[in-house]
Structure 1
Amino acid sequence: MKGFDYSRAEAVTHAAEQAREGARLIAGGTNLLDLMKLEIERPDALVDINRLELGGIERTEGGLRIGALVSNSACAADERIRRDYPVLARAILAGATFQLRNKATTGGNLCQRTRCYYFYNRDQPCNKREPGTGCGAIGGVNRIHAILGASEACIATYPGDMAVALAALDASVEVSGRDGSARMIPVRAFHRLPGDHPECDNVLEAGEVITAVVLPEPVGGTQIYRKVRDRSSYAFALVSVACVIAMEEGRIGRASLAFGGLAHKPWHDPGVEELLVGNEPSDALFDKAADVLLAEAKGQGANDFKIPMTRRVLKGVLREATGRAV
């Protein structure tokens, strides 16, 4: 591991000032420290933000504000989350192990990096790790890789579960800059698609610090998080679906869905929701929803199976959420 300077931030503005090129903020460090040990991340300095007052979950304008330093375990265990936003609790509990969830933070979880084999192997080409070197996964080992939103520069997937549920809930990320100014970023717009710059994971600007995640007013309905993976514990999603469905007089009155394991970011397609809302649930309708979702899906060989798998998982979730499960 490369040597680095270490300091503790005493205020959000101080952390933002220290978040310069070559420095990294650290809270739980469950992803960052692994990357540092492999020398994929080689920061000159670490800025510890654990002393900042960014913990706690509080009511705000009908919804909830989850501090950036709230652990994944505390978030999933909160009674208000479990009651009003169960899809979020279920998504968090589907990820990692309880030891990691005890340490991982809300803000850090959003910023975790891909688990692509080539990104983690410094002997292999990776445009995300070293722009311009190529993407070894294209034409290589790509079973876990993207079928949506990929580019010729990168086909990696975003590995998290929490952000998929946050996308289905239409949550926002609250960030603060060096001058103390704040802005809200919709979770659906927080992560970037790779395009020509896969080294950029999200839209955070230099000197910005995540201070909270804000959930909107509870919407009720049936909330499901389904994750298909190679094993039942400590495995990343091949396909996951976060679903919020509310029925009204036998028809779908509200629908919000997001998908994990398919793209460089939690995938949200408003066309799927527009198709579902106002219609009576049926397998034919669910097939059409899958057609919309997968219209531009592209396999890379070893991950071709994700296309029919996504169709089956989506249909199964919609059947359960609308009461048509058998």
Structure 2
Amino acid sequence: MTTPSSLLQPDAFLSPLAIDEAVVRALDEDLGRAGDVTSIATIPEATAARAVMVARRPGRIAGLPLAVATLQKLGPDIRIEAHARDGGSVVAGQHLLTISGSARGVLAAERTALNFVGRLSGVATLTADYVKRTAGTRTRICCTRKTTPGLRALEKYAVRCGGGFNHRFGLDDAILIKDNHIAVAGGVRAVLERARSHAGHLVRIEIEVDTLDQLREVLDTGLADVVMLDNMEVATLKQAVSIAKGRVVLEASGGVTLDSIADIAATGVDYISSGALTHSAPNFDVALDIETKR
């Protein structure tokens, strides 16, 4: 029997606890207090079924471990054979999973399982498209905190399945100084000095700048590890790379699109972050075709 952990992309870890928490929360949302009353009313308890999860379009897959965990949560005896793995590319019509077992269990789990695969494969597929357009450059594509509430760990996992990288997971795992922090703290040097005096030796400090003059000011302090170049034109990004001369890691952000990302990557920045990877990813079309055993 397929297990969720066997379907994970090897270099894109997703905690089993995160999988279980997400599945329990989603099933509770769907099953409510009375369960799948339609299946209970219309299908005898002993009825078995065979189903196939199918990709309806080409793309990059993510979320299969959650689909498997969902099915097994409602039907512990359900048997699942995997034909794809998270992080893999698929063609339209390709089978992802073959599922055999309790018809009631399969039907009750169907929508939740498809929702996980559809949402996360959409993120992975869009990320893979962004990554493809930066081929041949040094730039890495990363996501942001613009994620669906409650699904951040899953969506950031899907970004990695698409070949991207993760920015910080939350406010607690890195110092990222934005324009409002600078304004409240009294300027670039003041905010960096406060951040550096507070940060532990393993905590990196990133600061956002809007102009090349701000970039020069940051470089003069020598206190930042990473500089986010916010909403800069391609020509300005090229100047920023020239000014920095490798003294800090440079991240371009703001208004990044599929049409612009290749030009941005060609400037020589180290990272490009895009909230679109998660907040604007279209759902991946996936279906469950079921055949009742008699």
Same fold (TM over 0.5): no
Structure with the bigger RCO (C-alpha within 8 Å, sep 6+) is 2
Normalization by structure 1: what TM-score?
A: 0.22
Structure with bigger gyration radius: 2
Q: Normalised by the size of structure 2, how large is the TM-score?
A: 0.24
Q: Which has the higher helix share?
A: 2
